[in-house]
Amino acid sequence: MTVEFAPVPQPDEVVRAEALRRHATLAKPVASLGRLEELGAWIAACQAQSPPRPFARPRIVVFAADHGIAAKGVSAYPPEVTARRVGTLLAGEGVTSALAQVGGAGVRVVDVGVDGDTPLTEFKVRKGSGSIDVEDALTADETDAALRAGMAVADAEVDSGADLLIAGDLGVGASTPSSVLVAALTGTEPVAVVGRGSGIDDVTWMRKAAAIRDALRRARAVLADPVALLRTAGGADLAAIAGFLAQAAIRRTPVLLDGLAAGAAALVADELAPGARSWWVAGQRCAEPAYDFVLERLDLKPLLDLDIRLGEGAGAATALPLLVMATRLLTDVATQA
């Protein structure tokens, strides 16, 4: 059965205007806080109330999966690293775990396609994906299952009180299919989207460029169908993140976007659920060149530019305190009166 998405509502523009008017009455020069004022007004519009509520339960959800293309030598790390990093996050000892505490966020890990065994079996679609230069990443049923997994996780988080979401990725080889999706959806040539990913050398970069070229040739044949694109050139994590982002927008929940994998999935999600981009803000400018094409297509301006390329939601988690501050300015600062 094909996945279908409900219509996407839009943030409340009347409330956004009210929030900006409120900023003009605060005990400070008018428009003196720049993008923090825009952010606060966006949060108010998403919540449909001004001043907005301080975030009570921000949540980072890390979708973990490995990619078969890694076997072609496009990554600096072997697939077995992923399961170990999942364990580190589950123990609360990962990079994202540390960053999340600063922003007051909880962290959840979802295994949708790790090429190994983890304790997280509820949403597992398969172990690893196909090598997208010569075969599909997923079957049609697996693609649907991954999309539904992302939707179900978004619903569960919102139903549990999450009022701000971050989607992260974790897995070896993810930047290659992500770059293919970005190139396909933005009409970009392969060489323009090939980045250093996990920190690869020049020889590995050339292998990665060839893999992206071959996968992009296959992806362009199904470009008109975003679900087929995920099946052909994505992976379980990218499909799950796309479903997660689309469903978050349908559920009127703002999302802070992370790096390349989340950005690539966001491009697909906005195709699946038109208008979803209104519920997203870019936490950072990812160090991967493909991410600039994501920002341009989605018309987003990143909050930070720190050359972060880890994934795992780390870049977005770094920007999370800015959203907390933007909200507090509207709730805690006295007016001129």
Q: Report the distance separating Cα 72 and Cα 245, nearest Å.
A: 30
Together in a domain, 64 and 198: yes
Q: Which domain holds residue 39?
A: 13-52+327-332
Considering the domain architecture, whether residues 127 and 190 belong to the same structural domain is answered as yes
Mean pLDDT of the 105-129 span: 97
Choice among 152-156, 166-170, 195-199, 316-320 with the minimum mean pLDDT = 195-199
179 with 67, same domain? yes
Q: Which residues of 11-37 are buried (b: 16+ CB within 10 A; e: fewer)?
A: bbeebbebbbebbeebeeeeeebeebb
210 in the same domain as 90: yes
Q: Hey, what's the torsion of the CAs at 247, 249, 252, 256, to 10 degrees?
A: 110
> Based on the number of CB atoms within 10 Å of its own CB, is 91 exposed (0-12), middle (13-18) or buried (19 or more)?
exposed
In a shared domain, residues 254 and 276: yes
What is the pTM assigned to this prediction? 0.97
8 Å CB contact between 245 and 269: yes
Domain count of the fold of the chain: 2
Q: Are residues 285 and 192 in the same domain?
A: yes
Residues 244 and 189 in one domain: yes
Q: Is 312 one of the annotated active-site residues of the chain?
A: yes
Identify whether residues 149 and 286 lie together within a single domain. Answer: yes
Same domain, 41 and 158: no
Same domain flag for 28 and 167: no
CATH number of residue 300's parent domain: 3.40.50.10210
**pLDDT score recorded for residue 1:** 53
Judged against a pLDDT cut of 90, whether residue 80 lies above it is answered with: no
Catalytic entry in 38, 142, 288, 312: 312
Cis peptide before 51 (omega within 30 of 0): yes
Could you tell me the pLDDT band of residue 166, with boundaries at 50, 70 and 90? very high
Indicate if 117 and 159 belong to the same structural domain.
yes
Q: Is residue 6 part of a domain?
A: no
Do 195 and 277 fall within a single domain? yes
Confidence of residue 194 (pLDDT cuts 50, 70, 90): very high
Q: What is the pLDDT of residues 306-321, one digit of tens each?
A: 999 899 999 999 999 9
